[in-house]
A = this chain, B = another copy of it.
């Protein structure tokens, strides 16, 4: 009963992109729904992708002097209420525990939606001198935000993430921290996810509750919608004042230090699925993939085939490649579909004819190209091909973003482009929130960010026509 061509039942992207997405999440066995609405189970294949992201980021964080810590899961309501803007931003979506060991809890416990207040409270107790700074902490955990509409990886009532929280002596140091973390996130896209992120700063309306500035990386999906993939916040002294964190400076006087926080989450899996996937399922970039090469023996009952396949497996394994061999009794056709659905970058076929010629056949998942490769020097060929696949995927994604960024001048053009779901609309903005509100109300699109290093594309606000100096990217978003 396993002998079903699994991908027969997957919806086509062109028919229903949202349904295609859900199909891939389920059929590639990335996740399953949990017994509570909005919560999901991260299955082994999905979790392995997250582990690869985690490993990359954790290494970069540690190289740049950050330490991991673990803060409690719960925040007393009274503590949560200390920073006004912060609590207003999060209170409507909190999960609250009120009973512990069959007794009512007097100060109800909020299941952490984010941990600024816990870090700040701790910092207030361990920081007293400039010698104690900077503090560069990060934690890997799950957070809960009670969401009405949820979608696997993109928006969930619980998700996995990392949250960095740092404290600095000077404003400039804190601002640099927030920006240099954004660079690490951006580099993750370039090195691992094959996603060209746009880096920028959020408008005041869209920034994090309690932040003075929020920087973000944004990706653009094939349905024309943008996805915020990571944020980095500069807090100034807002939290350090609210939580009474102070240090004795080099001059002996007391000061409030400057803080940042920053995070990326399992939402990145959603970005990868949407950016690269196709009608046959997932397409994983090679340095993110839990399996880089799947070996499928052809006519494996014939003498010598399985033996040779195992030799190749051993050779690639020893070279450090993430390789698997499927020698189950399923048909080759079933296996092809299965690993296409799972997005494995290279399929390696080996059959009697290949063996005779001293060859193997490589099939690239990203474009279906077949390569006949010599058995000698196979590891090099595969490493080169993986690199090539990564570059092709990155460049294709970059081209997509460029092709789907429409520069406009007038409000009519803006509405037209947004209604066409054609991706980013690039235009000038006066900086007035009234214009931002109007765009959102009338088109449901938002200012995704004020991208860094932009050349002006006009001098009038696309909304109100007044003088404008800010370049913005507008799009519908998840």
A4 at the interface (CB under 8 A from B): no
A476 to chain B, nearest CB (A): 24
Chain B residues with CB under 8 Å of A160's CB are 70
Does B42 contact A69, Cβ atoms closer than 8 Å? yes
Copies, count: 2
Does B92 contact A70, Cβ atoms closer than 8 Å? no
Chain B residues with CB under 8 Å of A191's CB are none
A377 at the interface (CB under 8 A from B): no
Task: Give Cα A353 to B50, complex, Å.
Answer: 52
Chain B residues with CB under 8 Å of A36's CB are 72, 74-76, 109
Known: A69-B44, A125-B32. A97 touches B100 (CB 8 A): no
Task: Give Cα A39 to B67, complex, Å.
Answer: 20
Q: Is the interface of A mostly helix, strand, loop or mixed?
A: mixed
A40 at the interface (CB under 8 A from B): yes
Task: Give Cα A468 to B101, complex, Å.
Answer: 39
Contact bitstring A208-230, B, C-beta under 8 A = 1, else 0:
00000000000000000000000
A370 at the interface (CB under 8 A from B): no
A133 at the interface (CB under 8 A from B): no
Of all chain B residues, the one with the shortest Cβ separation from A140 is: B140
Task: Give Cα A129 to B125, complex, Å.
Answer: 56
Of all chain B residues, the one with the shortest Cβ separation from A131 is: B2
Does A72 contact B131, Cβ atoms closer than 8 Å? no
A96 at the interface (CB under 8 A from B): yes
Does B122 contact A109, Cβ atoms closer than 8 Å? no
Chain B residues with CB under 8 Å of A100's CB are 94-96, 146, 157
Residue total for A at the interface (Cβ-Cβ under 8 A): 60
Of all chain B residues, the one with the shortest Cβ separation from A142 is: B73
A241 at the interface (CB under 8 A from B): no
Contact bitstring A123-135, B, C-beta under 8 A = 1, else 0:
0011011010000
Does B101 contact A98, Cβ atoms closer than 8 Å? no
A416 at the interface (CB under 8 A from B): no
Does B131 contact A73, Cβ atoms closer than 8 Å? no
A319 at the interface (CB under 8 A from B): no
Task: Give Cα A95 to B108, complex, Å.
Answer: 11
Does B118 contact A34, Cβ atoms closer than 8 Å? yes
Chain B residues with CB under 8 Å of A79's CB are 35
Does A99 contact B109, Cβ atoms closer than 8 Å? no
Does B35 contact A73, Cβ atoms closer than 8 Å? no
Known: A99-B96, A129-B2. A39 touches B74 (CB 8 A): yes
Task: Give Cα A93 to B43, complex, Å.
Answer: 28
Contact bitstring A19-39, B, C-beta under 8 A = 1, else 0:
000000000000010111001
A474 to chain B, nearest CB (A): 29
Task: Give Cα A142 to B158, complex, Å.
Answer: 14
Chain B residues with CB under 8 Å of A144's CB are 73-74
Q: CB within 8 Å of B: which of A34-70? A: 34-36, 39-44, 47-48, 50-51, 67-70
Chain B residues with CB under 8 Å of A69's CB are 41-44, 47
A357 at the interface (CB under 8 A from B): no
Does B68 contact A95, Cβ atoms closer than 8 Å? no
Does A101 contact B68, Cβ atoms closer than 8 Å? no
Does A158 contact B67, Cβ atoms closer than 8 Å? no
Chain B residues with CB under 8 Å of A39's CB are 72-74
Does B70 contact A35, Cβ atoms closer than 8 Å? no
Chain B residues with CB under 8 Å of A420's CB are none
Of all chain B residues, the one with the shortest Cβ separation from A71 is: B41
Chain B residues with CB under 8 Å of A425's CB are none
Task: Give Cα A39 to B141, complex, Å.
Answer: 15
Q: Can you pick out 5 interface pairs between chain A and chain B where the beta carbons lie within 8 Å of each other?
A: A2-B129, A36-B109, A40-B72, A96-B99, A98-B99
Further 14 A-B residue pairs, CB within 8 A, beyond A35-B72, A42-B69: A32-B122, A34-B122, A35-B75, A40-B72, A41-B122, A48-B68, A70-B160, A72-B158, A92-B101, A95-B97, A95-B100, A95-B109, A96-B98, A101-B147
